[in-house]
Structure 1
Amino acid sequence: MSTIDTLTPVLTDTWDAERSWQLETYEAHGGYRAARTALGMDQDAIIAAVKDSGLRGRGGAGFPTGMKWGFIPQDNPKPKYLVVNADESEPGTCKDTPLMMASPHLLLEGVIISSYAIRANRAFIYVRGEILHVIRRMQAAVAEAYEKGYLGKDIFGSGYELEVVVHAGAGAYICGEETALLEGLEGRRGQPRLRPPFPAVAGLYASPTVINNVESIASVPSIIEHGADWFASMGTEKSKGYGIFSLSGHVTRPGQYEAPLGITLRELIDLAGGIREGHQLKFWTPGGSSTPLLTDEHLDVPLDFEGVAGVGSMLGTRALQLFDETTCVVRAVLRWTEFYKHESCGKCTPCREGTWWLVQTLAALERGEGSEADLDLLLDQCDNILGRSFCALGDGATSPISSSIQYFREEYLAHLTHGGCPFDPAASTVFAREGALA
């Protein structure tokens, strides 16, 4: 049976409902049933259910969610905190934003269950500052929940108390990194912390803290309501469950497509109406611009953590940016690298200085300046950043460069041969991967 035949909307189930963001609509579709069930369960049983489901972090790293919850030291007398990472800033990623706009109460229900499981009485939802409409939507949902008695004291008569704060970030890409996010929450400049100690032991206000992505937390209510086995029945052996895949770029119907992990790009493109008419896929990103790009050779790679890693990339945030043959890969990579240079927090030398030099070298190549030796220089610069920066921003900045040289080296050389970019879409002059001009 095709993966497409088994599609069942869960996170996106109510997105088409009238005024789906309101509590009344959410409850009419079964909302908050799972929270009522969870608050009658033992906390350790909830953590065990999430572990058994195989849910892995949906923010990019893919770390097992239940295992992360289990790291919280319950013998620590300090308060426990849940922090939801809604600082969605990765280029091409757009799954958490529509989820919070269409189903803010789904996230809140997940927050209630998750906070209860880790014995936290205060939770923070850290939203990227630029998306003011999402901040307002979440704040309105929180206000509805307080008014109904679903937040605050004695939730559902269980005796459990939870306060939820929607925090607007200052708009820094780096605050998607969990420890930089904590710095921002505490009112300091967003820069990564040295680890250890890890957030589970000394996170927000030096207290035990769980930090999870929006989609990870929003997946929890369905696990409680339908059971761990139900969730684990979808996806692949090691990558369980479903997820939202963001398709953008040169595709007929860009948007959010919810599917079990393990679906292929070929199947997703079919769902999206194919590549735009008259064109063909050239390269794509499986998890945003900080993941090594892939080509049309990888259309049938299972989109799960292991499958994508097996071809040298990362599933990341499932931000699938698709580019057809009219796109200059050198120019695209340069634009991404300029973004990472701008967003580097400057704390560590490899990233602060390295991304600057990457932009200089790439920009010269894009103008047709330099020599073939500059490609080796680029790779050497990447090697000096990769694994040596304070956080993953530096590593991510190298991914599109090294992978594009691997697959499109001839296109880089064509820029040198032609004294600039060989692409001129108006004249239908495009560069083929084989190195010939069409």
Structure 2
Amino acid sequence: PAGLKWEFCRKSNGDESYLVCNADEGEPGTFKERVILTEMPEQLFEGMAIAGYALDAKEGIVYLRAEYVYLKKYLEDVLQKMRDENLLGNGILGNNDFNFDIRIQMGAGAYVCGEESALIESMEGKRGEPRNRPPFPVQAGYMGKPTVVNNVETLSTVVKIILHGADWFKAIGTAESAGTKLLSISGDCKQPGVYEVEYGMTIKEMLEMVGATSVQAVQVGGPSGTCIDESQFSKTISFEELPTGGAMVVIGKDRDLLREVVINYMDFFIDESCSSCAPCRSLTVILKNKLIKMLNGFGTKADIDELYNWGLYMKQANRCGLGQTAANPILTTIENFRPLYEALVKSDDEFVSEFDMDKAVQESCNYVGRVPNTH
């Protein structure tokens, strides 16, 4: 929770501290924060000023996704207007003890920099890869100083809580998940877009809201989240049942889930890995190739269990959220759509998986003008 982060940062007792707004919205299927940045940036910057006051920070930094570079000039103009109105800068609103300003720093297009320590590395001009912890950013973050990293939605929500009070906020949602959630809903539905809903809405209610019919699956939380089937559409969007950063991708029954979605998501994680951890660098490729082998008609029963067990290693052996969730497209579809995998395999008496050496060297032999001779 944001409040705990702020409290830990205050208790770090650094000579200065920083607030960073993570606007590196790189999760496929997520576009809600772009809407905030476009339609209500003043609310975001006001939330940052409130957080800066709570942290006794003098500087806030918006780490803006590289693909949102077209917004930079617009956001700079909004910031300057707020300075002119004494809402940012020195002596905010006549309080000489309240000095806080905001600057924008561009990202470089790396998904891994959505992870807060990798983001800080990038801000410092280093290669964007996660740091080992401890220390945590609230202890030693940007430039070695206590740093709080919050996302766009969190900092914008702070303003509503200050205006209406904590009791108002806690009265919305569920007992464990207070308030509202912005959802980026896309895919096979009639009315995609950004929706603000109360925590506790069911997936079925969400699908009805956006005009989705004949739904095979919903990808909750983007590729790093969970792919759920129809039997789970009664679950609620909440921390206790279906937590999500905001991405909701509706997948119709006419889609080939494994070829069109799972392979696509695995390609994404392979491309975006920082390659620091060996399982994230290599096992993602191995998992994808094994699934392709199955899709091409060469799968055995053992392949499903190997896919699942190897995917579990990813959660144990990688140090950041990207690596730990990179196998989720395969893991969650095996859990919720296992018949799709079982339909791909042949029984042991029908098929024995083997390696064809002649076929393996054929391409290289063609390139150099040789005839395969492996016997």
Residue 181 of structure 1: aligned partner: 119
Residue 199 of structure 1: aligned partner: 137
**Which segment is superposed worse, 186-195 or 291-300?**
291-300
Residue 2 of structure 2 aligns to which amino acid in structure 1?
T
Sequence identity of aligned pairs in percent?
36
Which structure 2 residues correspond to residues 252-267 of structure 1 after superposition, within 5 A? 252-267=190-205
1:294 aligns to what SS in structure 2?
Answer: strand
CA distance in 1, matches of 2:308, 2:285: 14
Residue 373 of structure 2: aligned partner: none
Residue 348 of structure 1: aligned partner: 277
2:61 aligns to what SS in structure 1?
Answer: strand
Deviations 1:365-387 (Å, cap 9, x if unpaired)? Answer: 23333323211221122122112
Deviations 1:332-366 (Å, cap 9, x if unpaired)? Answer: 11110110011000111111111121221122223
Deviations 1:247-266 (Å, cap 9, x if unpaired)? Answer: 11011100111011111122
Residue in structure 2 matching 1:169, options 83, 86, 107: 107
Deviations 1:18-62 (Å, cap 9, x if unpaired)? Answer: xxxxxxxxxxxxxxxxxxxxxxxxxxxxxxxxxxxxxxxxxxxxx
Which structure 2 residues correspond to residues 217-256 of structure 1 after superposition, within 5 A? 217-256=155-194
Residue 5 of structure 2: aligned partner: 68
1:198 aligns to what SS in structure 2?
Answer: coil
Residue 122 of structure 1: aligned partner: 59
1:323 maps onto 2:251 in alignment: yes
Q: Return closer, same or farther for 1:118/1:361 CA change in 2, 3 Å cut-off.
A: same
1:71 aligns to what SS in structure 2?
Answer: helix
Residue 91 of structure 1: aligned partner: 28
CA distance in 1, matches of 2:93, 2:312: 54
Residue 104 of structure 1: aligned partner: 41
After the TM superposition, which segments of 4 or more aligned residues of structure 1 sit over 6 Å from their partners? none
Residue 340 of structure 2: aligned partner: 411
Q: TM-score, normalised by structure 2?
A: 0.89
Residue 321 of structure 2: aligned partner: 392
Residue 270 of structure 1: aligned partner: 208
Which structure 2 residues correspond to residues 357-436 of structure 1 after superposition, within 5 A? 357-416=286-345
CA distance in 2, matches of 1:191, 1:165: 23
How far does residue 190 in structure 1 lie from its aligned partner after superposition? Answer: 0.3
CA distance in 1, matches of 2:112, 2:19: 20
1:140 aligns to what SS in structure 2?
Answer: helix
How far does residue 156 in structure 1 lie from its aligned partner after superposition? Answer: 0.6
CA distance in 2, matches of 1:244, 1:407: 25
Q: Please tell me whether the aligned partners of residues 95 and 245 of structure 1 are also in contact (alpha carbons under 8 angstroms).
A: yes
Q: Please tell me whether the aligned partners of residues 315 and 323 of structure 2 are also in contact (alpha carbons under 8 angstroms).
A: yes
1:140 maps onto 2:77 in alignment: yes
2:138 aligns to what SS in structure 1?
Answer: helix
Q: Please tell me whether the aligned partners of residues 122 and 163 of structure 1 are also in contact (alpha carbons under 8 angstroms).
A: yes
- 5+ residue gaps, structure 2: 347-375
CA distance in 2, matches of 1:134, 1:363: 39
CA distance in 2, matches of 1:380, 1:74: 41
How far does residue 405 in structure 1 lie from its aligned partner after superposition? Answer: 1.2
Residue 15 of structure 2: aligned partner: 78
1:283 maps onto 2:283 in alignment: no
State the number of aligned residues.
Answer: 344
Residue 298 of structure 1 aligns to which amino acid in structure 2?
Q
CA distance in 2, matches of 1:83, 1:77: 16
How far does residue 143 in structure 1 lie from its aligned partner after superposition? Answer: 2.1
Please, what is the CA RMSD of the aligned residues? 1.4
Q: Please tell me whether the aligned partners of residues 314 and 325 of structure 2 are also in contact (alpha carbons under 8 angstroms).
A: no
Q: Please tell me whether the aligned partners of residues 283 and 293 of structure 1 are also in contact (alpha carbons under 8 angstroms).
A: yes
CA distance in 2, matches of 1:103, 1:408: 40
CA distance in 1, matches of 2:55, 2:153: 18
Residue in structure 2 matching 1:295, options 229, 249, 254: 229
Residue 372 of structure 2: aligned partner: none
Q: TM-score, normalised by structure 1?
A: 0.76
CA distance in 2, matches of 1:248, 1:79: 42
- 5+ residue gaps, structure 1: 1-63, 309-314, 418-438
Residue 68 of structure 2: aligned partner: 131
Q: Please tell me whether the aligned partners of residues 100 and 137 of structure 1 are also in contact (alpha carbons under 8 angstroms).
A: no
CA distance in 2, matches of 1:190, 1:75: 25
CA distance in 2, matches of 1:305, 1:387: 22
Q: Return closer, same or farther for 1:136/1:362 CA change in 2, 3 Å cut-off.
A: farther
